[in-house]
Amino acid sequence: MPVAGNRKKIVIRRITANEGALLRRLRIAALTEAPYAFGARLDDTLAEPLASFDATAARHASSATSTTFIAFVGGEAVGLIGAFEAVLPPERCFICSLWLEPAHRGTGIAAQLVHTASAWLCQRSGQDVFAWVADANRRALAFYQKIGFVATDEHLPLPSNPAETETLFRLKPVIESSLPATELLK
């Protein structure tokens, strides 16, 4: 699906084992551009050795319970999303760390990332998909609601800034969503 007026090919795929440096670059870009939106802190991420990102990429490339998907436009990485199954009760499936370069926002790529990660989780567990969203990130709150997530009554301090809060959102079942089922699974 090309970006309007751009015609560059969009590819969303699972991270490969040798993409630790790419994962690090995207996480640093996300935390630099939107530090208020994530539970991680830029300083901590910059201090993390590349070997840690290499290990995460290798694990996410083959794990049955956690992964990262990366969005590419014209061969260039422009965004990412994480997906994982929590092992401690309550056992839930989560998407996390969604980020897209600002130039590609509003193009549908973020929704494709969410739906790809959500479909991957649902194929494995059949459970609802959840996402913690920083309350200060108004754009993200509106985005998640637009694509079918609903706020729960669960709130926590944001790990990167305990003075701020985040809200747990749950993806409505496909039949309740405002998007056609075929769009949700893209």
pLDDT greater than 70 at residue 182: no
158: phi then psi, degrees, rounded to nearest 5: -70, 125
Structure tokens at 124: 């494995």
Q: Is 133 helix (H, G, I), strand (E, B) or coil?
A: strand
pLDDT greater than 50 at residue 2: no
**pLDDT band of 4, cuts 50, 70, 90:** low
pLDDT digits (tens, 9 = 90+) for 80-116: 999 999 887 678 899 999 999 999 999 999 999 999 9
Region of residue 165 (phi > 0: left; psi between -120 and 50: alpha; otherwise: beta): beta
Distances (CA, A) of 83 to 8, 66, 79, 103, 185: 26, 5, 14, 24, 15
Q: Is 113 helix (H, G, I), strand (E, B) or coil?
A: helix
Structure tokens at 179: 């998007």
Kind plus residue range of the DSSP H or E element containing 13: strand 10-14
State the pLDDT at residue 110: 97
CATH of the domain spanning 10-184 = 3.40.630.30
